[in-house]
Amino acid sequence: NPPKRYEDVYPIDFECEDWEHLWEACESVVQTWIDRGVKLFRVDNPHTKPFAFWEWMIGQLKQRHPDVLFLSEAFTRPKVMHRLAKLGFSQSYTYFTWRSARWELEEYGRELTREPERWWFRPNLWPNTPDILAVQLQEGGRPAFIARLVLAAFLSSSYGVYGPTFELGLRTPREPGSEEYAASEKYEVHHWDLDAPGSLRHVVALVNRIRAGHGSTRRNDHVSFHGVDNEALCCWSRRTSDRSDVLLCIVNLDPRHVQSGWTSLDLGELGIPVDAPFEACDLLTGARFPWQGPHNYVALDPGIVPAHVLEIRRTGGAV
């Protein structure tokens, strides 16, 4: 798996002469864990093993256990990532962790949600993993953690975090310039105090409650980016097909300074008639903003809350 060199892993030959018994043995390992109640498998570097093996093994297991999920940790070419999804992987890692500028997020967000790819490729966005402490988190502190949480949770229907270190805002790398944690649970057992001062657990819980209560977060069918006259602000919406649930998210990508600007909203995408008044209710803070038309003023202070998650309502009722 160049350029990395794994020296503590034996490279099994999946295409040896006795490949059938080898594949059956690998399947039996997964079946052993399923029998013990494990239903989610995160597969490391599946793109370095034969496609035919995954198609056969996942197919065999899904026939017996349709509720078992396989998460593909394949940081490789898009075509290969999509091939693995077509072969049976339920969800896939993405390059979201390294997308930080507005143009990068918009370009990648459109790539992940366009047709027809979104029908088979289910992207899972991760702000961090046990292997990856992103530079944005190292340098941006608490505001960056919240901003990346909102981006991950609402740019895709599926997201995840490496929980304890993310909730506690830990951001010390192994050494300067490294994206590895100085302390994670890969090689050590830690006992975390998730109620420590400054813990983000309640912010994470709130974001998850918002997602659970809104049908627009279930699928990636209708994700659209909207204009803002400030490159430090990223604005996008999610909606259901019938526009009965519409969320508009705006994130300040600058963890140090207040950023403000005027939106250029696609009102048709939001289900709002041109120049009709509507209400934007912030589900993170409870604030309510009476808006009208496509151009509305926003200002986000990263020292308070660096993001809006706005429920769009027509004046006098929900959309």
Q: Show which residues are catalytic.
A: 44, 73
Looking up tokens 């503590």 gives 8
Which residue in the block uniquely carries the two structure tokens 């983000």? 200
- Exposed/middle/buried for 269, CB within 10 Å: 0-12, 13-18, 19+? middle
Q: Which residues of 51-68 are buried (b: 16+ CB within 10 A; e: fewer)?
A: eebbebbbeebeeeeeeb
The encoded tokens of residue 235 equal: 């604005």
- Cβ proximity of 81 and 72 under 8 Å: yes
Residue 287, CA distances (Å) to 24, 149, 217, 280 in order: 57, 20, 21, 8
Residue 72 host element (H or E)? strand 69-73
DSSP symbol at 142: H
Vertex 60 angle, CA 57 and 61, to 5°: 85
Q: Is 75 helix (H, G, I), strand (E, B) or coil?
A: coil
- Provide DSSP, 213-230: T-GGGS-SSSEEEEEES-
Distance CA 144, CA 135 (A): 10
